[in-house]
Amino acid sequence: MEKTTKILFPYDQTLVKELPLLNSNDVENILNTAQKLFNDQSNWLPAFERIEILEKAASIMSERSEELIHLAISEGGKPYKDSKAEILRAIKGVKLAAEHIAQIKGEQIPMGLTEASLNRIAFTSKEPIGVVVAVSAFNHPLNLAVHQIATAVAAGCPVIFKPSSNTPLSGLALADILKEAGLPEGWLQVVLCDNETAELLVTDSRVHFFSFIGSAKVGWSLKSKLPPGTRCALEHGGAAPVIVESDADFNEMIPDLVKGGFYHAGQVCVSVQKIYVNEEICDRFIEQFSQATNKLIVGNPFDETTDVGSLITPKEVNRIEEWVNEAIENGAKLITGGKRISETCFEPTILLNPSEDSKVSTNEIFGPVVCIYPFTNREEAINKANALDVHFQAAVFTKNIDIALSTAKKLNATAVMINDNTAFRVDWMPFGGRDASGLGMGGISYTINDMTREKLTVFKSKSI
């Protein structure tokens, strides 16, 4: 009997679509298709064709943006205004990938610097790395697909893309659009499969590059099983700490942190989770932050006024409820929220001073919960912000340039935002975690470079 996966609208759990899952017997054909394309250089797509395909795809996406927005909402549950922002970012990402193809280039390596290197000219060139397998997450179903698929197309690599089983429709739509834009058969294969079959794909020796976006547990486990020579990039999560100093601008900061904490119900790998607030302003901060949080509209993500939608599954609501209750039982003060609204929605929640060993303090929450910790000594706050083994993006709010730069230097993070929330991202910047939070840096141009490899050519001639 054929296995299937059901895609449900996260808000009310109604069926959107049921799709068949591949099984382990299909893996061989999928990998063979990709390997054959790559091994025969006559199949390789020249740069101008890759540019044309991606530019056409971006154009089609723009024409169908409303359709793509509704598709992303139906499977991912992100509110309309945020899903619209994601689709616009995805279109820009495809354009960025097309533009970067012109920057895939090598350089001349000097010769003649020693007697032994006379009569030679040397240069490097960039080639596609080979077959790419990409495993993606649910929270940005179209934009993440762009970051893993459009980059592979730009680099000239055949790509096998496994979307989240909760949100495969956006990736399938992107595949259809790329095919319509002229991407030849086999260069992109979207696979829906269980974890066991996905592992067979990822760990095959024919795979040259593995791109992963998801949980640290799964990412590091798969990395440990990669065959020799397979390169990889892993993007996991973090706890996104924020340091708020006494001179911070409340008018700018409060709406910024509310957005950063509760955007997509906190289901973002750099969502604001831990805010360390100078004790001098903590009462004022709590008052204004909670007032702004209480104004957020939680509801149906198709409603254009909704600020916070549902979590991806009811199981996640149960988990968030357990973690919040545990924190309160262990001494945290509930400032606002703290309760489930329905089977699929949870109130935007603020906790004050949860214990250091509560799950909300030691783990990535990945839900609509923000924790506030008052501090008197900034160095101690920074040490606490750095204490976990996950380090991704962080932030500091202050108008003092010395404090800003000093704090940015001391925070263990790949990116520190000054007077901006931790969830800030544009798709041409480097983006990724360090330590347990990941390996390598994402961002359209950075990923394309990862998916290429360098070749040195040395030409010897007495005429040189």
Any idea which residues carry the catalytic annotation?
235, 269
Picking from 166, 112, 158, the residue whose alpha carbon sits closest to that of residue 138 is 166
Cβ–Cβ under 8 Å, residues 158 and 451: no
Q: Which long-range contacts (CB under 8 A, 24 or more apart) does 215-220 make?
A: 216/390, 216/436, 216/437, 216/438, 219/438, 220/436
List the Cα angle 195/447/27 in 5-degree steps: 30
Q: State the DSSP code for 129.
A: -
Token pair in block for residue 228? 């020799």
Picking from 373, 189, 367, 202, the residue whose alpha carbon sits closest to that of residue 274 is 373
Q: State the DSSP code for 281.
A: G
d(CA 288, CA 137): 33
User: Which residues make Cβ contacts (< 8 Å) with residue 462, sequence separation at least 6?
Assistant: 119
In angstroms, the Cα distances linking 16 to 72, 284, 313, 415 are 11, 45, 14, 37
d(CA 414, CA 428): 15
Cβ–Cβ under 8 Å, residues 274 and 242: yes
The residues pairing with 148 across neighbouring beta strands, listed in sequence order, are none
User: For 136-161, b where at least 16 C-beta lie within 10 A, e where not — what string?
Assistant: bbbbbbbbbbbbbbbbbbbbbbbbbb
User: For 279-303, b where at least 16 C-beta lie within 10 A, e where not — what string?
Assistant: eebbeebbebbbebbeebebbbbbe
